[in-house]
Chains A and B, each alone.
Chain A
Amino acid sequence: MPIKKDVIRYVADLARIGLSQQEEKLFAEQLNHILAYMEQLNMLDTKDIEPMSHAVSMGNILRKDIARSPLSNDDALKNAPEREEGFFKVPKIIE
């Protein structure tokens, strides 16, 4: 089932990535090529196989409830492209 340009645009929108027309075309071609290769997985019957989400088995990790000093507000903000009064500044959200 080949992916068309509009699917690429939809997925890019989900991922919040702005693409040029050329990129949409190129990625559609390349992703079709890659997904066609991945079709090989359908040669395997995996009906009774458990999905593996991690390489090592894991349980919950609990730590002692001890207060620690966090990163200072200034340190947390020092890489921000824009900041104002101790906050990250972004373009207007509510009209």
Chain B
Amino acid sequence: MTEFVKYSASRLKEKITQDSLTASDIASSVAVRYDKVEEKVKGFAHFNKVVLSERAKELDKKAISGALSKIPVVIKDNICVKDELTTCSSKILVGFRPPYDATVITKLKESGALLLGKSNMDEFAFGSSCETSCYAPTNNPYDTERVPGGSSGGSAALVAADETVLALGSDTGGSIRQPASLCGVVGMKPTYGRVSRYGLIAFGSSLDQIGPITKDVNDCAALLNVISGYDPMDSTSADIPVPDYMGSLVDNVKGLRIGIPKEYDTESMFFDKKVPVNETGVKIKEAIKLLKDLGAEVVDISLPHVKYAVSVYYIVGCSEASSNLARFDGVEYGYRDKEASSLIEMYKKTRGKGLGSEAKRRIILGTYTLSSGYYDAYYLKAQKVRNLIKQDFDNAFSRCDIIMTSTSPETAWPKGLKTKDPLLMYLSDIFTIPANLAGIPAISLPCGYDSQGLPVGLQFMAKYFDEELLIRAAYTYQQNAGWKRKKPEL
């Protein structure tokens, strides 16, 4: 019974046809697995076995023959699901049940997917370790004393722990790719505009993008197929035709020009900050060699401004967040401080008590960088440097087709290591942030383990709307990588 949820979506689909499995069979398998390992993983923010069982029965009645029929999917807690708890893992959204579905949820439901529940995350996606959730930190399935990465740490850990087959995350500065890397699974941030943001509770509106977290590249293509496309409900959604990404599962990189930025994996990227850089670079070099042997051409490139990406990101992202999070004021939904006697006092007490420390820190930083007298020095300056970073990518892509780097400077670190030093935590995202600032698509996929057995991730970045090339390169690597995969022991 337990094994169905351990399968990839493509394998489970075959099994469903072969053995005429029902959604209820699969829901039971999910529940058994949940009972066995969730206590160790703590990847869910909201999961209810009774609700799941009813949902599965309904799904069996409807018998939808869509692309993801009966396939289990976990949804990050910042994506609205009608009448289901959606709290961004924040106390200020306690009890919130959206009156509508996000567009990606409508699409998943139309595809026949079995929605399991909501995954834990850093509060409002503010974090790189899943430790700022108002519930409890999620643990890394490969070593439960370590972080799963963040902010979509719950989604990545649940996929890695075989508690789900597929998951959705959101990526503002690496929140899909970095936890995917730390948990040994596949995660993609599509091009800005490829996937509708309607119903995604906004953090940084010019940076946010929803994307798949899956067990392999095949499933990434399958889930991307379902969630992509133009949506009139999101004015930043791109009205560009969506290809069939399954067609990109091609084992061939002959003649592909892979750009290796000289600035990555070097100490200069971090200025004078002491950031632990471990063995990830070694694994990436092995992967580069493999792709070269398969016929790819390796090109040295330079992205001279990416080392400024963390500064730009925390100014732009926090500025946008300070504006977006103004809506959480105790009036329309969630937590309200009931003791306050005036409106302003109610706002302050509600936000003071309802928001966690990292959320308050970022809102204050963003309010400061937007405030009169500092706007030019911080926000405007950051927007200009953002343009320089975008230009770096434009220049690089005139010399190569795809860019390859580590996803994260390090593998999963022990819990608590960076919680006291926000800047150190922010620097964890230094390799993933540039793609969000430029708006280009990027994917992280496993490329082996370090000496402690912790997963290492490699990242590909491509031109705007060239997810197809990301999938082809990632698929080719996946099909040819010689190292032995091991599931976490739970």
Q: Could you list which residues of chain A lie within 8 angstroms of chain B, going by C-beta atoms?
A: 3, 7-8, 11-20, 23, 27, 30-31, 33-34, 37-38, 40-42, 44, 46, 49-56, 58, 61, 63, 71, 75-76, 78-82, 88, 90-93
Contacts and interface: CB of A to CB of B under 8 A. Distances in A.
Interface stretch (B19-27, B121-129, B244-252, B376-384): B376-384
Q: Is the interface of B mostly helix, strand, loop or mixed?
A: helix
Given A33-B423, A46-B381, A58-B236, 8 more contacts: A11-B371, A16-B351, A17-B351, A38-B315, A49-B385, A55-B207, A81-B333, A91-B345
A52 B381 contact: no
B192 A15 contact: no
A81 B330 contact: yes
A50 to B, nearest CB: 6
Given A8-B364, A49-B387, A14 B371 contact: yes
A8 to B, nearest CB: 7
A91 B343 contact: yes
Contacts of A58: 235-236
B386 A52 contact: yes
Nearest to B440: A55
A55 B439 contact: yes
Contacts of A71: 99-100
Nearest to A43: B308
B380 A16 contact: no
B238 A56 contact: yes
Contacts, number: 168
B207 A50 contact: no
B388 interface: yes
A16 B260 CA distance: 45
A41 B389 CA distance: 12
Contact of A79 (B332, B383, B386): B332
A14 B95 CA distance: 27
Contacts of B271: 37, 40
A92 B340 CA distance: 10
A81 B388 CA distance: 45
A38 B100 CA distance: 40
Contacts of B314: 34, 38
Contact of A34 (B192, B383, B423): B423
A37 to B, nearest CB: 6
16 contacts: A15-B363, A17-B352, A17-B355, A19-B352, A41-B308, A44-B388, A50-B384, A52-B384, A56-B191, A61-B235, A63-B232, A76-B99, A79-B332, A91-B346, A92-B343, A93-B342
B414 interface: no
A28 to B, nearest CB: 10
A6 to B, nearest CB: 13
B383 A56 contact: no
A17 B357 CA distance: 11
A80 B380 contact: no
Contacts of B380: 51
Nearest to B427: A37
A53 B332 CA distance: 29
B206 A18 contact: no
Interface residues of B, number: 76
Contacts of B114: none
Contacts of A12: 360, 364, 367
A46 to B, nearest CB: 4
A37 B236 contact: no
Nearest to A7: B368
A82 B99 CA distance: 17
Nearest to B345: A91
Contacts of A82: 336
A90 B360 contact: no
Given A51-B387, A91-B341, A40 B332 contact: no
A41 B336 contact: no
B342 A15 contact: no
A34 B422 contact: yes
B206 A53 contact: yes
B367 A15 contact: yes
Lowest 10 CB-CB distances: which A-B pairs, in order? A55-B439, A18-B352, A51-B383, A18-B348, A81-B336, A79-B333, A52-B387, A46-B384, A75-B99, A16-B347
Contacts of A80: 331-333
B95 A79 contact: yes
Given A34-B314, A88-B332, A90-B343, A79 B97 contact: yes
Nearest to B351: A17
Contacts of B221: none
Contacts of A23: 357, 360
Contacts of A54: 206, 236, 439
A16 B383 contact: no
B192 A56 contact: yes
Nearest to A89: B331
A39 B331 CA distance: 38
Residue among A19, A49, A75, A81 with most chain B CB within 10 A: A81
Contact of B342 (A30, A55, A91): A91
Contacts of A56: 191-193, 236, 238, 439, 464
Contact of B351 (A8, A18, A75, A81): A18
A16 B329 contact: yes
B349 interface: yes
A92 to B, nearest CB: 7
B322 interface: yes
Nearest to B360: A17
